[in-house]
Amino acid sequence: MTSLAPERTGLRAWLNSDTPRSRGHARAIALWGAVSDLARNPLTVFGALLILALLLTAAFAPLIATHAPDAQNLAGRLQPPGWNGHIFGTDELGRDIFSRIVYGSRVTLSVVAIVALTAPLFGLLIGTVAGTLGGWVDRVLMRFTDIVLAFPRLVLALAFVAARGPSIENAVIAIALTAWPPYARVARAEALTVRRSDYIAAARLGGASTPRIILFHVVPMCLSSVIVRVTLDMAGIILTAAGLGFLGLGAQPPLAEWGAMISSGRQFLLTNPWVATIPGIAILLVSLGFNLLGDGLRDVLDPRSAKR
């Protein structure tokens, strides 16, 4: 019998095989199928390209920026966009808006990355423990989650930052502390669905402890829904960070941050609209990219969605 190996039949045939030879081969086939489904959706591809542009801009900011982000030139303040050395114009202090947008992508990406690595993990832990154990543990954890959800996210973030002082670090902590409850509810719903499954009962009969069941059997079943929710929530996280920056509670001058740039440019909105409009467009494009990518991931990763 001919072995279905990538070096003999080709990588594409290996990835499209209907008979996986190993667990790793099966995972590769599933991943290739998901990527193929995403690539068929032009809106998802457009969203992924926007996110890729954000990543590349943040990574190569010193090479892309044409000026230092905090370099002031009062003689050249409020220059309009054009080919005069300032493609997006200058702000009220003569700083190049394009360079500040480029370096501001690093702030936005750092906020997104830190929140995405903290809030979903905490919410996933709370939700899976509550859904798997049930009883009084479920009631206590979910009532605590409901209390946090009862307060608007931005209000809680404002209260936290106002108490600890304005800074980008406190803004990130505030957003992370207020962003975890939706992930806990999603994870709990998934855990309630799978906790009475046959493979969970088999694991218990095999002597698996409750922490092991939660970590190795329940959590993997909740990951897809949490990942989709994280991607869709990134736009809200970016807007919350920009809102804190707009109110002066986020990144502090001279650090380039899109929300703070809108705040400083709002007084020139009627006479020099590019100062506030261009950072707003940057926030719009990045938020749109995460939303489009999240919609595509939901269609691919949600097992209850119908195949097109």
Q: 269-285: per-residue pLDDT in tens?
A: 888 999 999 999 999 99
The answer as to whether 6 is a domain residue is no
The answer as to whether 34 is a domain residue is no
The label of the residue with tokens 């505030």 reads 174
- So what's the pLDDT on residue 7? 46
- So what's the pLDDT on residue 308? 42
pLDDT tens for each residue of 81-110:
988 888 998 988 889 999 999 999 999 888
| Averaged pLDDT score across all residues of the chain | 85
- So what's the pLDDT on residue 3? 47
| Interatomic CA distance for residues 230 and 112, integer angstroms | 10
Is the pLDDT at 6 greater than 60? The verdict is no
Residues 19-28 have a mean pLDDT of: 74
* Coil, helix or strand at residue 96: strand
CATH label of the domain that carries residue 85: 1.10.3720.10
Give the alpha-carbon dihedral of 106, 108, 113, 119, to 10 degrees.
150
- So what's the pLDDT on residue 88? 92
pLDDT band at 306 (very low <50, low <70, confident <90, very high): very low
The answer as to whether 270 is a domain residue is yes
pLDDT tens for each residue of 135-189:
899 999 999 999 888 888 888 888 888 888 888 888 888 888 888 999 999 999 8
Q: Torsion-angle region of residue 134: left (phi > 0), alpha (psi -120 to 50) or beta?
A: left
pLDDT tens for each residue of 187-205:
998 888 888 888 888 888 8
Q: What is the DSSP letter of 153?
A: H
- So what's the pLDDT on residue 222? 86
The answer as to whether 1 is a domain residue is no
| Interatomic CA distance for residues 308 and 305, integer angstroms | 9
Say how many domains are in the chain: 1
Three-state SS annotation for 27-93: HHHHHHHHHHHHHCCHHHHHHHHHHHHHHHHHHCHHHHCCCCCCCCCHHHCCCCCCCCCCCCCECCC
90: which strand partners?
96
Is the pLDDT at 5 greater than 80? The verdict is no
If one counts every other C-beta atom within 10 angstroms of the C-beta of residue 308, the result is 7
Close Cβ partners of 46 (under 8 Å, ≥ 6 residues apart):
289, 292
The answer as to whether 40 is a domain residue is no
Per the CB < 8 A criterion, the answer to whether 251 and 245 are in contact is yes
Q: What is the DSSP letter of 268?
A: G
| Interatomic CA distance for residues 162 and 216, integer angstroms | 40
Q: What are phi and psi of 273, to 5 degrees?
A: -65, -20
The answer as to whether 10 is a domain residue is no
Residues 58-62 have a mean pLDDT of: 92
Is the pLDDT at 208 greater than 70? The verdict is yes
Q: Which of 227, 256, 260 is nearest to 243 (CA)?
A: 260
Q: What is the DSSP letter of 249?
A: S
Q: Which of 232, 67, 214 is nearest to 127 (CA)?
A: 214
- So what's the pLDDT on residue 305? 52
Q: What is the DSSP letter of 303?
A: T
DSSP assignment of 193-247, as one string?
Answer: HHTTSHHHHHHHHTT--HHHHIIIIIHHHHHHHHHHHHHHHHHHHHHHHHHHHHT
| Interatomic CA distance for residues 73 and 152, integer angstroms | 41
Is the pLDDT at 126 greater than 90? The verdict is yes
The answer as to whether 33 is a domain residue is no
Q: What is the DSSP letter of 307?
A: P
The answer as to whether 111 is a domain residue is yes
Is the pLDDT at 300 greater than 80? The verdict is no
Domain that holds residue 229: 46-301
